[in-house]
Amino acid sequence: MYIAAAILSVALALVSLAAGAPKALLKGDVATGLQTHMGLSAGLVRFVGLAEVAATIGLVVGLFWRPLGIAAAIGFALMMIGAAWFHQKAGDYANPETRGNAMAPFALLALAVATAITLTLAS
């Protein structure tokens, strides 16, 4: 079970880093889109990015100290619930042009829950 937990942790950490770094640095289309389309402040976008980078660190360290990995996966899952709520608030699920990007939090939520479960069972 530890191998599955490690694979899921690394996969989630890579996705979290790839999603969080541009937001933390306020670089790229995603950070700009969150500010213009979603109406988020630059400070909130940076905070979300830093939280995703922190989740990356927690997931990697969690390979050696599982309680931190479990907490990081749960925290990331909660962020994805918040992301889905913001997409709903912005009307992205009703718009065919933005619906594809808005579905990403659900896939990442599933990955985060699977990671938390496998890390718990590997303990």
Q: Any idea where the domains of the chain sit in the sequence?
A: 2-122
Does 123 score more than 80 pLDDT? no
Residue with tokens 């889109």: 33
Predicted pLDDT at 34: 82
Average pLDDT score, the chain: 91
What digits encode the pLDDT tens for the residues 26-61? 888 887 878 887 788 888 989 999 999 999 999 999
